[in-house]
Structure 1
Amino acid sequence: MADTKWWLVCYDVRDPKRLRKCARHMEGYGERVQYSVFRCWMSQTQVERLRWELTQLLASEDEVMLIPLPQASVDGIVGIHGSDRPPEWTAEPPRHRIV
């Protein structure tokens, strides 16, 4: 898919039950980077579907951000030790199937 790229999905869910549901749902889309941050390899259609699904799971008091990552940003990611870049953050799609 030509329009497929990396996205960061970050959320702040106030209710523990909704938080667990959101985290389980996000595991079907990508890989956890931090507790409430996932990286996902998605097309625009998948992003729109995820947005709709999250509106069904979450309440209006919860916050979600879907941030597209331009290739220059992905190329510039470094780890906690200066120039150590997480090797899995490449322009290539992940090897496992993302919904």
Structure 2
Amino acid sequence: MSDAKWWLVCYDVHNPDRLRKCAKHMEGYGHRVQYSVFRCWLTGREVERLRWELTERLDRDDDVMLIPLCGTCVDGIVGIHGSERPPEWTDRPPRHEIV
């Protein structure tokens, strides 16, 4: 069984050029949830690779958080415009994301 799970990747990049590069890079890993927040279905190995890649692209002044989400956490996600979590947030990835 795969060790993949949902991760939130949040970043605060101070330079506009690095910000664009980071956003473009993250588009290859997941879906944008907010301007600087991505939802990604990743294995442990993919998380380590992503961390390394972002370290190569960003500066020490930039911040990145990779937050793992367990099934209970995903079940608890709610938005401000409704009482239920967005339908695309399940404890399993959509079919097109399974690798």
What corresponds to 1:12 in structure 2? Answer: 12
Distance 1:12 1:98 in 2: 28
What corresponds to 1:87 in structure 2? Answer: 87
- Any residues of structure 2 matched to 1:37-76 within 5 Å, and which? 37-76=37-76
- Tell me the percent identity: 74
Contact 1:41 1:94 in 2 (8 A): no
Pairwise CA RMSD: 1.6
Shifted more, 78-87 versus 32-41: the winner is 78-87
Aligned residues: 99
Moved over 4 A (4+): none
What corresponds to 1:36 in structure 2? Answer: 36
TM-score under structure 1 length normalisation:
0.92
Distance 2:2 2:96 in 1: 18
Runs of 5+ in structure 1 lacking a partner? Answer: none
TM-score under structure 2 length normalisation:
0.92
Letter in 1 for 2:68: P
